[in-house]
Amino acid sequence: MKLRRTTTTRRPLTVAAITAGLVLTIAGCGGDGGGDGDKAKDSSAPPTASAGKGGGKESSAAPSAPDKVLAEVKGEGGITLTITSAARDAGGFVTLQGTVVNGTGKAWVPVNWRGDERELMANGGSIAGAALLDEAGKKKYLILRDTEGRCLCTRFTGGVRNGQTADWYAQFPAPPEGTDKLTFQVGAMPPASIEITEGE
């Protein structure tokens, strides 16, 4: 009988314990749901924080970020030429990069940018006739070309339509070390003063 009473007494305790366990489990599940919400907030928080920390890096590497402008000149009835990079490379040459914006109101083919040399005529509408001038050293550096006379520069195949922007590059022999201030000249565009930087 005592055994039965003990068993009978234990049953309500067991039921109470199970009920309490279920209540705690349900509460815990509710807490986990809130925890998941917190985790979701936390998981979105680090990117925001990291974006805050690395925001400078992201903005500097973003394609939409404007390039540094070394020089900008306007001429030839609405052409804007911008130089965004002028880097001295280890191979003994200087690479210039930039953009050309056609604001002439019509399609533009840079015929007078290809240069007067017969060898350069095969380059068509290009920037092959550009030059770097070292006024202090009284030297002129022409665009490099391969053995077949093709310039190491941009060729504007088909020209540039009105309102469009085209990227360009041109490679020149590097001036002596210490000669960093040069003048870029192409076609009838005004001269653009630039300063060469060391390439990576």
* Position 25 confidence tier, pLDDT thresholds 50, 70, 90: very low
Q: What is the pLDDT of residue 106?
A: 95
Mean pLDDT (whole number) for 6-21: 48
How far is 186 from 144, CA to CA, in rounded Å? 14
Residue 169's nearest CA partner among 58, 55, 93 is 93
pTM > 0.95? no
Contacts of 187 (CB under 8 A, 6+ apart): 76, 110, 112, 113, 129
Q: What is the pLDDT of residue 51?
A: 37
| Domain residue extents for the chain | 2-61, 71-198
The residue length of the chain stands at 200
Q: What is the CATH number of domain 71-198?
A: 2.60.40
How far is 20 from 23, CA to CA, in rounded Å? 5
CA 12 to each of CA 18, 19, 25, 99, 132: distance values in angstroms, whole numbers, following the listed order: 10, 10, 19, 85, 97
How far is 141 from 173, CA to CA, in rounded Å? 6
% of the chain exceeding 70 in pLDDT: 66
For residue 81, the SS3 value is strand
Q: What is the pLDDT of residue 121?
A: 72
Predicted confidence (pLDDT) per residue in 74-115, tens digit? 999 999 999 999 999 888 999 999 999 999 999 999 988 987
Predicted confidence (pLDDT) per residue in 36-76, tens digit? 444 433 333 333 333 333 333 333 333 444 568 999 999 99
Contacts of 154 (CB under 8 A, 6+ apart): 126, 127, 166, 167, 168, 169, 170
How far is 175 from 179, CA to CA, in rounded Å? 6
CA 92 to each of CA 11, 102, 144, 183: distance values in angstroms, whole numbers, following the listed order: 92, 32, 11, 18
Cα-to-chain-centroid distance, residue 88: 20
